[in-house]
Structure 1
Amino acid sequence: MYFEGSEKKAEIVIDGSQLSLLHDITDDFWASLVECCNAQILSNISNDSCKAFLLSESSLFVWQDRLLILTCGVTQLVKSVEYFIQQLGTDKILQVTYQRKNEYFAHEQASCFGDDIKCLSQYVQGKALRFGELDSHHNYVFHQDNDFVASVEDKTYELLAYQISSEASKVLTTPNLSAAQIREFLAIDALLPDFIIDDYVFKPFGYSLNAIKGEQYLTIHVTPQEDSSYVSFESNLNLVKLAPQILAVLSPASFDLITFNALDLAELLQAHIPEQYVSQSLVSQQLSNGYYVGFANFIKPQRIFYDAKEIDISGDNHAL
């Protein structure tokens, strides 16, 4: 069984003097927005600063003046972004940022990044960049090009782990695994002390977690199938500093780090990335909207090599 774990991501910043996304927008609106990309809300948690929705395909976070949404599988996230713009109007929107990374099964997607930004360009003028090499891990970023300038304190971190160890995959595909057992395996209590947590175990495999504490958030999404395993972490906590604990549990063959406004990224990598991982790519770029974006890809050099794997060609198999 294969599943496209790679997420698409959008962040939208609004003029908080005109509207509060946290207090003036109903949950029905967010349900409709999520449905536009062919996903559903499963549950939600909240505090005074943030509301976090766990989705059938990843997560949605809402603060006073911004939202962050990630969706995986074959969802069309751009449709949800378009819905938001159409419903609220561009006069309330200060900045739109849209990301999409390389996918395992790109041919299964309803659109590509180029299609998505053509859609968004009907509403906002922007620029697009690719971080990373085309024939390797890479991430596309589209951002609105206007007079908005992000605060240097607006920091986010993404850690994307590929080909987790066979031992980790075996644990995370154990039949009838509970959410508590997955949290224990991932050492969530050590990573997220005093956070409110909402999580969900999918059938037959898969796991999602949202966690909030004040304005801080972290979301985790696990696709554990060994042939296409992928685990993503997204947070405004410093995930580079937390990388040693995460990598020790998952032991992936490779991982990406994507950061916004981590001006000390090179120093962080030197201090915290375990020495068995080798850097394949390190790109930094200052965007016109004030975000300083960093992208790094690391691999663990192979010491054990395997024979070719025979593929079952009977019936439908979208991995072919």
Structure 2
Amino acid sequence: MVNSYAPGENYSAQEGSFEGPEKLLEIWFSPSPEGIIAHQNLSTVEEPKGLRIIPRPCLDKMLSLVKCTVLNVITNSDVDAYLLSESSMFVYPHKVILKTCGTTTLLYAVPKLLELAKEYCGFEKVWRVFYSRKAFMFPERQVGPHRSWEDEVEFLDKYFDGGSSYKIGSGLHDQWHLYLTKPLDDVLHHQNILNPYFKGVMREHEIRSGESTPAASDSDEEDPSPFGNAGHSYPDQTVEIHMTGLSQEKMKQYFYHDASKTASGLEGGVWVDQQTGIDQLYPSAKIDSYLFEPCGYSSNGLWQDRYFTFHVTPEPECSYASFETNIPVERSHGHEHRPIEALISQVLAIFDPSSFTVTYFTSHHEEHHSQRHMVHSMAAIDGYRRTNRILYEFDGYDLVYGHYEK
């Protein structure tokens, strides 16, 4: 059964929920696109497109379970980016990233996605899973398995083995929730160096200021990331910025006002990109944006094999904006403001939030790893007071969580 509302309509707005903070799911069937054949024991020797061959009607049906629709799609040689009525989906050969806001039932996509991966791609097993979200603004309005974090974890445990769950940060409204699984043991002998073995053991460290770290050099690859590193040769990273209490002056651009001055839909999205400077964050990226009626904005961007995405709920009573990217950024070193701070500051300038939370999640090479490479991430941000900064160290990955207020 498909959704009863038209493409482009917002289910959560119809339901009156206006829940900005998104649910984010990543399901990996292999550590890399190149490893699919070996990891899934496929017989073909051709370079597979993997999950990208799943027919669009099947994906639409899966998304109907979540209560969202596809607005537009952009692609390149590495990934398909779906702009949704309630956020985004990115489909790689070896993994799917699904992000939805409002009262969507994202986890209901899990069994259908596993079914499609098996039917069309021959994928019999999952390599690893990540599920995360910021604390909801209106948790009482959530439905299905999203009524509580405990319900979400219980649902995920039905489909995946070896899962661990965490609530990160202090303050009920500022917490970030994370669920992850260990890598599947029988694919580790094909391990990709960019995605090292992740045992899922966590150690928490309060970050001390003032330590020095060796400088890092930028990649020499053509068309480098504007924030310090090129994409293909760098560890797996994800940066998320969750912003609340947005400037209402800046939010005016995210409302559809007058058809004689501003279009809605995809055309309106381009207008917002240009007016706000979103199109200058990664100037060489391919961007797909949408301005909703009467308000709201979503955007996907592709740069090489990486993505970024924005989502904005501008109403003053529940204003929220999110930014996410896996385009690599350089870590901070000593007291210098390095590209991670430059990225954060440039995003903040677009929305001028009263408070925000940042998560910086990155893999590392065991033989080169040092906590010192992470301790300076998210240092002082001009105009804001840091109320919390913690380093979470996993075997194979590090996470830095920071919360800031004006």
Query: What range is the shorter-chain TM-score in?
Result: 0.7 to 0.9
Partners of 2:390 and 2:124 lie apart in 1 by 33
Judged with a 3 Å threshold, the aligned counterparts in structure 2 of structure 1 residues 174 and 214 are, in CA distance, closer, same or farther, namely same
Mapping for residues 234-245 of structure 1, pairs under 5 Å:
234-237=324-327, 238=329, 240-245=341-346
Q: CA RMSD in A?
A: 2.2
- Call closer, same or farther: CA 1:68–1:159 in 2, change over 3 Å: same
Q: Report matched runs for 1:1-320 at 5 Å.
A: 3-15=18-30, 16-17=36-37, 18=40, 20-88=49-117, 91-110=124-143, 111=146, 112-125=148-161, 126-146=163-183, 147=185, 150-151=195-196, 153-173=235-255, 175-176=257-258, 177=262, 178-237=268-327, 238=329, 240-261=341-362, 264-270=373-379, 273-287=380-394, 290-300=396-406
| Counterpart Cα distance in 2 of 1:64 and 1:209 | 22
Cα 1:240–1:158 shift into 2, 3 Å: farther
Q: CA, structure 1 residues 131+53, in 2 after alignment: closer, same or farther (shift >3 Å)?
A: same
Q: Structure 1 runs of 4+ off > 6 angstroms? A: none
Spell out, residue by residue over 1:17-64, the C-alpha distance to the aligned partner (whole angstroms, 9 max, x if none). Answer: 236435432222322222221111111000001100000110000112
Over 3 Å counting, the alpha-carbon distance change for 1:41 and 1:3 in structure 2 is: same
* Identity rate, percent: 28
Question: Residues 105, 23 of structure 1: CA spacing in aligned structure 2 closer, same or farther, 3 A cutoff?
Answer: closer
TM-score (norm. length: structure 2) = 0.68
Task: Using the TM superposition, give the Cα deviation of residue 240 of structure 1 relative to its aligned residue in structure 2, in angstroms.
Answer: 4.1
TM-superposition CA deviations, 1:97-140 (whole Å, max 9, x none): 11122111110001222112111111212000111124240111
**More displaced stretch, 5-14 vs 134-143:** 134-143
- Please name the residue that 1:305 is paired with: none
Residue ranges of structure 2 left out of the alignment (5+ in a row):
1-15, 31-35, 41-47, 197-233, 263-267, 330-339, 364-370
TM-score, L = length of structure 1:
0.86
For 1:275 and 1:213, how far apart are their aligned partners in 2?
28
Letter in 2 for 1:286: E
1:310 — aligned with what?
none
Q: CA deviation at 1:2?
A: 5.9
Aligned partner letter, 2:405: I
Q: CA deviation at 1:3?
A: 1.0
Is contact 1:241-1:268 (8 Å) kept?
no
Q: Deviation of residue 161 (structure 1)? A: 1.1
Q: Structure 1 pair 67/241, CA: closer, same or farther in 2 (3 Å)?
A: farther
The structure with the larger Rg is: 2
CA distance in 2, matches of 1:77, 1:103: 14
Change beyond 3 A, Cα 1:163–1:48: same
Q: List runs of 5+ in structure 1 lacking aligned partners.
A: 301-320
Alignment partner of 1:276: what SS?
coil
Q: Could you say which structure has the higher strand fraction?
A: 1
Per the TM alignment, residue 174 of structure 1 is displaced from its structure 2 partner at its CA by 5.3
